[in-house]
Amino acid sequence: MGSYPHPLECSPWFPYALMPSPPCGLFLQMDAILRGMNMTVASVQLVQPKTKVVGGHARLANGGIPSRGFRKARFNSAKAGFSLVEVIVSLGLLTMTLVAAVQAMLVTNRLAATNRISTAARAIVQRNVDTALSLRFDSTITPAILALTAGTAYDDDGGGDNSVNILTEKDANGNPLAVVKGTLSRKVTAVANTMSADVRRIEFRLSYTFQNRPYVVSMSTVRTIDD
């Protein structure tokens, strides 16, 4: 085995290319290979932040305190989690919110049902008004719907009970079942005019009850004789 070189000879800038003696020989062999690849060994230096002493304490140039390594996180068990009062208050607020949401849904559903039935009632009255305006009416034929009357119940659906079905649904056997029923009245009066023409005013009035509240839908029109 060869003799060990002087420590200064272990530097990568020592002019020897190869030295077989360990441990500097291995290092110089690697240096020779890097030099052959046009590369050099780069030394890594830790850049220490510049500090200055202020009031007996070391401080960084930017005013901060130099780090002394990692510190173990400390937790105060008295402040961790939620207290019983906070939990009770949170549950109370959540309950109030849920109750308000349910109430809003019930009110919305009630209004939707009311509007749906009101639309059906208007459709029934409008249908009778259209019938009164479309039937033939002349000196030879007077439709029953245009007969003069002070106001009587008018059986629109022909059921014979002087009431109309406003809202229906099917039962288990598929038969229609009346859910909301109303009373339709017809009033036909003569309208005086200078031409002595047969002019009649027709008014239909449908009254019904839904959710213990009374509702009334009425429409009127004027019909004159065709000849």
Binned at pLDDT 50, 70 and 90, residue 45 comes out as: very low
Q: Is 202 part of any domain?
A: yes
The count of domains in the chain is: 2
The answer to whether 222 and 201 are in contact (CB under 8 A) is yes
Q: Is 80 part of any domain?
A: no
Q: Are residues 132 and 216 in the same domain?
A: yes
Q: Is 57 part of any domain?
A: no
Q: What is the model's pLDDT at position 83?
A: 85
**Structural domain boundaries, residue 24:** 1-44
Find, among 222, 220, 219, 218, the residue nearest to 191 by Cα: 222
The answer to whether 219 and 129 are in contact (CB under 8 A) is yes
Q: Is 60 part of any domain?
A: no
The residue among 9, 26, 44 that closes a domain is 44
Q: Is 99 part of any domain?
A: no
Instruction: Indicate if the pLDDT at residue 163 is higher than 90.
Output: no
Q: Is 196 part of any domain?
A: yes
Which range (57-71, 93-107, 126-140) has the least confidence? 57-71
The answer to whether 121 and 215 are in contact (CB under 8 A) is yes
Which range (64-68, 117-121, 144-148, 214-218) has the least confidence? 64-68
Q: Is 89 part of any domain?
A: no
Q: Please state the pTM of the whole predicted model.
A: 0.57
